[in-house]
Amino acid sequence: MALLNIRNLTVRFATATGSFTAVDGVDVSVDRGEVLAIVGESGSGKSVSMLAVMGLLPDTATITADEMTYDGRDISNMTRAERRRLIGREITMIFQEPVASLNPSFTTGFQIEEVLRVNLGLSKREARARALDLFRAVGIPEPEEKLRAYPHQMSGGQCQRVMIAMAIASKPRLLIADEPTTALDVTIQKQILDLLMKLQEEYGMALILITHDMGVVAETADRVVVQYKGRKMEEADVLSLFEAPQHPYTRALLSALPENATGDRLPTVSDYYSQEAGR
């Protein structure tokens, strides 16, 4: 049995101009301890599908699915209390904008201690000690001092480490990392990715890694889902995907890897077809 099993997930948003389908019949499943990458261009519904799982979409979203289970339990029918026990503890998420996810008005220490007290029920003193351990575990330099720092006094990479510290605090069984390195400098990207993979292994967590970077996929994933315009285009284990991509869009994504690159932006399906036509 998969740890997380999502079948035929659809998310529609009510907008001023009518209903908009952001996710259109996507299947996602991840096993215990597995690393699943979800790739696809901007707007393909990667974030929305995972926010749907977390129950974090606004009321304008209508979510339907044939199946939405975590560890055999139906997520969609859970009471608020059941969901709260699950989300933020067993399933946690690192959001796409690390700096924006932190509150600029409070120290990072206050914010992580708050998470520890609310989600794990730790006392103030316990939370303080655990926060320090977590800052050490994610490699924040001068951790005591950094607990007293405000987000703007820290670099983007350090803020991302704080977000990772919050996300692993409960020793989750599933961590969803939404473009965890995109906002960071190239040199820092690798450090953060290495940290995530180290923690994934140490904790035996399942990891869903959302990215548009096939280089990241190659380095991290066991399995890959390729999404395009809200639909799943292809799913394969990572070796098969790189050796024999089945879908034109996957081939287009692979051709954007540095060793294959012809341009500096992500190709789209139409690029791919116009390339083919030009041959």
Contact string 94-133 vs ligand ATP (x = CB under 6 A):
--x-------------------------------------
- In the bound state with ligand ATP, the residue whose beta carbon lies nearer, of 111 and 160, is 160
Find which of Mg ion, ligand ATP, none residue 43 binds, CB within 5 to 8 Å per kind. ligand ATP
- In the bound state with ligand ATP, the residue whose beta carbon lies nearer, of 43 and 141, is 43
User: Which one of 26-34, 45-53, 144-152, 270-278 is the stretch in contact with ligand ATP (CB under 6 A)?
Assistant: 45-53
Binding status of residue 43 toward ligand ATP by CB under 6 A: yes
- In the bound state with Mg ion, the residue whose beta carbon lies nearer, of 122 and 226, is 226
- In the set 130, 173, 212, 223, which binds ligand ATP (CB under 6 A)? 212
Binding status of residue 58 toward ligand ATP by CB under 6 A: yes
Binding status of residue 48 toward ligand ATP by CB under 6 A: yes
- In the bound state with ligand ATP, the residue whose beta carbon lies nearer, of 95 and 135, is 95
Whole-angstrom Cα distance, residue 11 to residue 55? 12
Find which of Mg ion, ligand ATP, none residue 48 binds, CB within 5 to 8 Å per kind. ligand ATP
Find which of ligand ATP, Mg ion, none residue 146 binds, CB within 5 to 8 Å per kind. none
Binding status of residue 22 toward ligand ATP by CB under 6 A: yes
Whole-angstrom Cα distance, residue 129 to residue 131? 5
The string of DSSP letters for the chain reads --SEEEEEEEEEEEETTEEEEEEEEEEEEE-TT-EEEEE--TTSSHHHHHHHHHT-S-TTEEEE-SEEEETTEESTT--HHHHHHHBTTTEEEE-S-HHHHS-TTS-HHHHHHHHHHHHH---HHHHHHHHHHHHHHTT-SSHHHHHTS-GGGS-HHHHHHHHHHHHHTT--SEEEEESTTTTS-HHHHHHHHHHHHHHHHHHT-EEEEEES-HHHHHHH-SEEEEEETTEEEEEEEHHHHHHS--SHHHHHHHTTSGGG-SSSS---HHHHHHHHHH-
Phi-psi region of 231 (alpha: psi -120 to 50; beta: other; left: phi over 0): beta
Whole-angstrom Cα distance, residue 219 to residue 196? 12
Q: Which of residues 34-53 bind Mg ion (CB under 5 A)?
A: 47
Contact string 225-244 vs ligand ATP (x = CB under 6 A):
--------------------
Binding status of residue 72 toward ligand ATP by CB under 6 A: no
Binding status of residue 223 toward ligand ATP by CB under 6 A: no
Please check whether residue 20 is in contact with residue 13, taking contact to mean a CB–CB distance below 8 angstroms: yes
Find which of Mg ion, ligand ATP, none residue 18 binds, CB within 5 to 8 Å per kind. none
User: Which one of 1-9, 43-51, 86-94, 156-164 is the stretch in contact with ligand ATP (CB under 6 A)?
Assistant: 43-51
Binding site for ligand ATP (CB under 6 A): 13, 15, 20, 22, 40, 42-48, 58, 60, 96, 212
